[in-house]
Structure 1
C-alpha cells in the first residue's frame, strides 16, 4: 500500500488552484518582519495559474580536490561554515575502505576568503601517515572521526571556549559532543555521549552525518540524526537547552501538497537554518537508491571505482521545515541531479555538504561530495540566486497567488523577483475577507518589472504600508511571465 501511495504522490503535479495549506483554517499568521521564501504552502491560500517551481542550482565546477595521502577516495560528510569573512570547510579523510569508525579516519580542514577558492593550511597538530605538516584537525578519536560535524554556536552568551560545537560517533559510542574556541583545536564537552543508543527506539542509528545547531526560532539546540525504520533510512529530531541533556527523539514525517510523500532512503539530511530567514530550516538531503545500478562492470573498471561502490545511485533533494516533527517535501524531484558521465552514477556520490552559504552579493552556494570511491574524489560547488531555492512562477498569460490572513511589522514591502521584458508583478493588499484596501488595490499598484534581489513595492501614493502594520491582511500577487522568490516587510533602508 505504501508503494502505491508513493507512486501516486510522485505523479501528482502542482495543482493550479486552491492548493491546501498546512496551517489550520482561520489562523492568522504573524510574519513580523521575517523574510518568507516561496518554498512551501505555509502562507499560501490560493494559486490561480501560478505554480511553485524548483530552481536547480548551476554547476560551478570543482571546489576542492581530496588529493592528500590522508584524504583520498572515501572523503565525505562535509560541513561548510561561514564565520564572518572566513569560510571553513570540514571533511572526513579516509584513503581506504574500512569499517565505520576505524582508526584510519581523520577530519580535515580547509578555508577560503570567498567560498570559491580554498586552501589547506598546515596545522601541525597531529602526526598522520608519518607527516605532521597536514590539515587534520581531529585524529586518534575514533569513532567520532567517522562523522564529526561542527557548528558555529550562535546562542547568546555562549562561553568563548565553546564558540564551536560538534557531534560525532556511531552506535558503538553514541553521539559525542565536542567544543572548540577557534574551530581548529577540539576537546570533548564530556566523556559520556550526549545522545545514547538507549534513548533511541530503533535497531540501527547514527551511521551517517548527524548534526546540531542553535535555533533562534525555537530558542533551543536542535539535533537531526539518522536511524533505520522498517529498513529505510530515516531522520530523527531531538532538542536541548544546554547541548548536554537531549529530549526523547521524534521520527520526522513528510508532507506533500499532492498527498502523502513517498518514504525514501535519506542518507544525510543536512538540515540548517537558512541564513537570510533562520525560522526556515532548509534540508538539502542525500537521497539514496539502494540497488539501483546504472554502471556495468566494464564501465566501473574504466573509472577505477572501488569494487562494490557502483551498485547504487543517489542525488540531492530539497526539503524544508519550520520546526517540529515535519519536513515539507513540496518538491519530490531531484534538486541537484547527477551529472553526465559514469563517475556521477556510483554509490554514495552526490552527497551535499551541510550548510548553504552566501558567496556574492546576489549568490549563494551549496557543495556536493562527488566522484566517491574514485581517485578523482572531490568537493563540487553549485550556485543559485539568494533565496532562489524555489519560486512562484506564472506564464505569459498571467496568474495570481493569494496569501492566508497575516499580520506584519514594517513600513515597506520588498520582493525578490525576476520578470521577462514583457512580464511584471503587481501587489494588492486585501482585508481578511479578500476585499482590496483603499490605496493598495490592484489598480493602485505600480507594475514591478526587472530582476532584483530586493525591490520596494509601490502604489500610486508611495511605498509606506505602516498604516496596515499589526492589522490582519492578505497579499495578492498578480504575476505575469515572472518568478517571485521571496517577500519581506522592512523598515526603509534596511
Structure 2
C-alpha cells in the first residue's frame, strides 16, 4: 500500500533534527555569508576544514616622527568618511630611568588620506604644544589616553552629534564618558558624568551604531578577578578581558556583560622553567560590524601574554625599570560573533610578531588599529582589498604598517586536491543569482549543488549539472548548464552542497541581477 504524504508535511519531516525538534531554516535573504564559523554548516566531510588566513605585511604607511607624537603613539582608529579616510590616535611620550617611568603628556591627533595608503597631518591650529599650534592635535589632557571616535550612521542622529567618541576618565569616578562633534575635529562632552562605570577601561574602548540591530553597541576593557569582578576558573589574579553594553541613545547604557568564547579562552598553557600567566589575555578588542556583511561582528583583539622571561638584549635595555615592559608580549588575534556576546575565538594568531631582527617582540607592538578599510593599492582597474594597520616600534620610533587581505578573506573552507565537502543547514534566500568568492589552484575547482531540505538534488541543480568553477574571483556567478537563474528556488528551504578541491571558498551570497 502506498502512502501519499503532502509536500508541506514532507518538508517539515525532513527539517526535523535528530532529537525530533523542528530545525527552523535560516533566512539569509540576500546577505553575504562568510565562512567565519559553522553557523550555516550542517556537515563538513572529507578533508574540508575552516582555515584562518593571515594578512600580508606591506610597507609602513605612517611614521610617528613629530615631537608631539613621541615614542608612545598607539590606539589608532580609522574609518572611511565619504571620499576620505580618517585616522585618530594618541600621541604620547614615556621616559624611563632607574627609578621608574613617567608620561609627561597625552594628546589626541588627527590624520587623513584619500587612498588609505598615503596619509597627511593637517595643520589644525587648535592646541598649543610647546608654544606652537602648528600641529594636527585636536585634544590634550586626561581625555587623551584612549579617545576613540566613530561616525554615527544612525539616520536619526542630529548633525551636531554626527561624530561621537567614547573616552575613559579615571577621576573622580573611573568610567567611560561620551563626546560628540559636528565635524570630527571640534569635540564637546555630551554628559558631565560617566555613562558606564562597570569595568576598568585602561585600553582602547569603543562604540558604534549597529544598523542591523538598530542600537549603539560598546565594548570595553575589564578585569576578571579585579575589584568587583568575577574570577576566571582556578585563577586568582586579575585577567584582562572584554565586556559589552548597548544603548538606544548613547547616553543610557545597559549593565555590561562579559563576552563568552567558543572554544573557551580559559585554557592553561605553560612554558618550561618560566612563570607564565596561565591565560592569553585580551588587551584591546577592535570589534566592529564587517562592512560587507554588517550582521557579522569581527574582532581583532590584541593578545597579551605575560611573564615570558626569554628576552633579546634590545628588550632588556628597554625594560630596565619596569619588568613587564620587557617580559610581556603582544600579538594579534581574531574572533567573530553573530550576536555581539558569544564569540568564536580562534586560538591561533592573526598577526604574529615575525622575525626577531625586525624588533616586534616588545610589549606594545602588534596592536591592530580599530577599523578595516576597503582600499585599492594598484592602478585603476586593480581589484580592491582590505587594509588593516598594525603598530610597530613601540617605545622607540612608533609607526603603522599596512597589512592587506582579499575581500572576505579572513577564513575559508579549504580542502586539498583529494577534496572535501560542506553541506549547509536548510536556508531560505532572496534573489536570482548565486555569487561566490573563491580561489583555486590551476588543478583545483569548486562545484555547487542545490538540494531539497532532505538532501535530494533539485533537478537541474545537481553537482553534475554545475559548470566548473576555477580561478580566483571575488564575485563569480554560479551556473548549471550555462543557466545562472535560481529565482524559482527563492523563498523556500534549500541546502547548498559545496565540493572543494585544492581551493578556498570564502563567502557566498544570493542577489538579484536585472
Judge same fold: TM > 0.5, yes or no. Answer: yes
CA distance in 1, matches of 2:163, 2:307: 38
Query: Which residue, out of 190, 212, 217, partners 2:212?
Result: 217
Q: Check conservation: 2:318, 2:326, Cα contact below 8 A.
A: no
Cα 1:25–1:65, aligned 2, differ >3 Å: closer, same or farther?
Answer: farther
Cα 1:111–1:283, aligned 2, differ >3 Å: closer, same or farther?
Answer: same
- Which residue in the other structure is 1:36 paired with? 33
CA distance in 1, matches of 2:414, 2:439: 10
Gaps of 5+ in 1: 1-19
- Displacement of 1:340: 1.6
Tell me if 1:91 matches 2:89.
yes
- Which residue in the other structure is 1:148 paired with? 147
Tell me if 1:270 matches 2:286.
yes
Where 2:120 maps in the other structure, the secondary structure is coil
Where 1:351 maps in the other structure, the secondary structure is coil
- Displacement of 1:27: 3.0
Cα 1:222–1:445, aligned 2, differ >3 Å: closer, same or farther?
Answer: same
Q: Check conservation: 1:44, 1:404, Cα contact below 8 A.
A: yes
CA distance in 2, matches of 1:152, 1:324: 20
Tell me if 1:377 matches 2:398.
yes
- Which residue in the other structure is 2:462 paired with? 441
CA distance in 2, matches of 1:66, 1:260: 34
Where 1:161 maps in the other structure, the secondary structure is helix
Q: How many matched pairs?
A: 458
Q: Check conservation: 1:423, 1:449, Cα contact below 8 A.
A: yes
- Which residue in the other structure is 2:474 paired with? 453
Tell me if 1:127 matches 2:122.
no
> What are the Cα deviations for residues 79-112 of structure 1, in whole angstroms up to 9, with x where unaligned?
0111122011110010225999977111011111
Tell me if 1:401 matches 2:402.
no
Cα 1:189–1:227, aligned 2, differ >3 Å: closer, same or farther?
Answer: same
- Displacement of 1:147: 0.7
- Displacement of 1:339: 2.1
- Which residue in the other structure is 1:192 paired with? 193
Where 1:443 maps in the other structure, the secondary structure is helix
TM-score (normalised: structure 2): 0.85
CA distance in 2, matches of 1:345, 1:216: 38
Deviates more, 1:164-173 or 1:242-251: 164-173
TM-score (normalised: structure 1): 0.89
Gaps of 5+ in 2: 1-16, 226-237, 268-278, 377-382
- Displacement of 1:170: 3.7
Where 2:467 maps in the other structure, the secondary structure is coil
> What are the Cα deviations for residues 44-72 of structure 1, in whole angstroms up to 9, with x where unaligned?
11111201111110001211111111111
Q: Check conservation: 1:171, 1:205, Cα contact below 8 A.
A: no
Cα 1:357–1:306, aligned 2, differ >3 Å: closer, same or farther?
Answer: farther
Superposed CA RMSD in Å reads: 2.2
Query: Which residue, out of 415, 421, 431, partners 1:410?
Result: 431
Query: Which residue, out of 483, 492, 495, partners 1:462?
Result: 483
Where 1:345 maps in the other structure, the secondary structure is coil
